[in-house]
Structure 1
Amino acid sequence: MQLLSWISNEHLYSSVERLLIIAEKSLKTSESQFNKNVLDPFSALFQISGFDISHEEWLIAEKTRQAQKSLQNHVGDFHQIILGKVDGWDNLETGQIMDLVHKDRKIIAEIKNKYNTVKGSDLSGLYQAMENLVGYKHSNFKDFTAYYVTIIPRKPERINVPFTPSDKEKGARFSTNEAIRLIDGASFYEIVTGDPDALFNLYKCLPKVIEDLTRKPMPVDTQKNLFQYFTSAYGTYPSSTNKEIG
């Protein structure tokens, strides 16, 4: 059974499996490198005392935190890979100026996992790179629309507005250019797939995909709690308000 209408099960499962492998490697690396990293002994002391936890509990939490930090760097890549598998879209791979392109629709996009992934001081450089791509007459992307995609937005609401960060040299915001835009993940998934609930539907089917790959069932209560995190990040939309994961 096809889980999503806009991506094959083969591509979906391979993309999820890749991230699961990275997660497993991140935890193993955290454990093997733990004693090689310089730990903050003051932070450890006050966490154990202030949180009223044992050293063993702190140790598990600290190793998990380090692994989580490594994994989060790859979650944005997961979305880039997923979106790049949709018909007509090309994943430009790591190291290129932009992440995704649809040549026929004249769209390019830079994908970041969270609204604060890029430091404020670096946003002006991103804007200028986009401006050069869509405005320079000899650019391969002349007259395209460039999107800066934050998969997880600052607020649980949909946005698709001109991207106008501060110009750090002039101390003022860049002028509005309708072809250079800031957009949240749910809205961009809709642009790519045509499904207004594409991001929700992806999230909804992930527990099944993960269960199939790991052969480990995910408790229903866990899935419901995870769904609450999704709605906290994105709110609800008309066709998915009363849906549940599972």
Structure 2
Amino acid sequence: MSYLAYISDEKFEELVASILTIGLNRKQSVEQDFEKNVIDPFATIFDAAISGFHHETWKESEMIRQCQKTLTNHIGALHQKVLGSVDGWEDLYVGGEVDLKSDQHQVIAEIKNKHNTLTGGRLADEYQSLLDKVSKKSSTYYGYTAYFVTIIPKTPERFNVSFTPSDRSTGAKVAAHEHVRTIDGASFYELVTGRPHALQEFYQALPVVIEHLMQTRFGEETFTIPDKDAFAAYFTTAFG
């Protein structure tokens, strides 16, 4: 049985393995370089007082935090690559005009991992960039629909609405345009794959493929992810 119905097992394993490699390499570098980096001694005292951690526990938690920061920077790209592997869709990679496109469906998309990735005037800049791409007759994407995608939204409710951030100069919302929209991650996964629960299927497949890869490619023959059910509760919190 395949991991996912909408991309091949080989491609899925390749994409997940790349993230594991990044994370494991970061973990090794953090462990090796921890004492070389300048640690804020004032912040650590407050951390210790508030958390009640002993030094070794604090150190472990700080190393986890540093690794997690690196992983978070790559998770948005993972979603982009997964969606770009679906038939009829193309990942344009970092530095492309947009993150994702489908000439077949006449859609372009910018993918952000979390609702607070961009704020304020930068959202208005994204709107204007997308608007120019779909409204200017000289643009490759004239007449397409542009989506600003927030994989993890602020609340679990689904949405697919006009993208109207506030203009940085006036403070008023920009004018709505029928071809410039904002959408949550679960709804966009459904739009791309045609499967209502595609994002949940992706999440549920991750522990399976991660355990398989850790055991077969990374030399951890008895590896399992502990407390998978407890971690899965965070998906429910984020997406309902």
Q: Please give the TM-score of this superposition, normalised by the length of structure 1.
A: 0.92
Give the superposed CA RMSD: 1.1
1:132-176 per-position Cα deviation (integer Å, ceiling 9, x unaligned): 100011000001000011100010110111110011022211001
In structure 1, how many angstroms separate the alpha carbons of the residues matched to 2:210 and 2:235? 17
In structure 2, how many angstroms separate the alpha carbons of the residues matched to 1:204 and 1:184? 18
Partner of 2:214: 214
Q: Is the 8 A contact 1:111 1:150 kept in 2?
A: yes
Q: Is the 8 A contact 2:160 2:181 kept in 1?
A: yes
Q: Is the 8 A contact 1:153 1:233 kept in 2?
A: yes
Partner of 2:176: 176
In structure 2, how many angstroms separate the alpha carbons of the residues matched to 1:36 and 1:187? 44
How many residue pairs match? The answer is 233
In structure 2, how many angstroms separate the alpha carbons of the residues matched to 1:27 and 1:41? 22
Partner of 1:5: 5
Partner of 1:106: 106
Partner of 2:239: 234
In structure 2, how many angstroms separate the alpha carbons of the residues matched to 1:26 and 1:119? 28
CA offset at residue 39 of structure 1? 1.9
SS of match in other structure, 1:65: helix
Identity across the alignment (%)? 45
CA offset at residue 32 of structure 1? 3.1
Partner of 1:241: none
1:54-106 per-position Cα deviation (integer Å, ceiling 9, x unaligned): 11111111111111111100000000010110001010010123100000110
Task: Out of 144-153 and 165-174, give the one that drifted further.
Answer: 165-174
Partner of 1:167: 167
Query: Quick one: which amino acid aligns to residue 160 of structure 1?
Result: N
Partner of 2:145: 145
In structure 2, how many angstroms separate the alpha carbons of the residues matched to 1:89 and 1:25? 30
CA offset at residue 50 of structure 1? 2.4
In structure 1, how many angstroms separate the alpha carbons of the residues matched to 2:108 and 2:189? 13
Query: Quick one: which amino acid aligns to residue 174 of structure 1?
Result: V
Query: Quick one: which amino acid aligns to residue 65 of structure 1?
Result: R
Partner of 1:244: none
In structure 2, how many angstroms separate the alpha carbons of the residues matched to 1:50 and 1:205? 37
In structure 2, how many angstroms separate the alpha carbons of the residues matched to 1:76 and 1:212? 22
CA offset at residue 179 of structure 1? 0.7
SS of match in other structure, 1:131: helix
Partner of 1:202: 202
SS of match in other structure, 2:149: strand
Q: Please give the TM-score of this superposition, normalised by the length of structure 2.
A: 0.94
Task: Out of 1-10 and 26-35, give the one that drifted further.
Answer: 26-35
Partner of 1:239: none
Uncovered stretches (5+) of structure 1, i.e. residues with no partner: 236-246
Q: Is the 8 A contact 1:29 1:67 kept in 2?
A: no
Query: Quick one: which amino acid aligns to residue 138 of structure 2?
Result: H
Partner of 1:243: none
Partner of 1:240: none
In structure 2, how many angstroms separate the alpha carbons of the residues matched to 1:49 and 1:164? 43
In structure 2, how many angstroms separate the alpha carbons of the residues matched to 1:195 and 1:108? 19
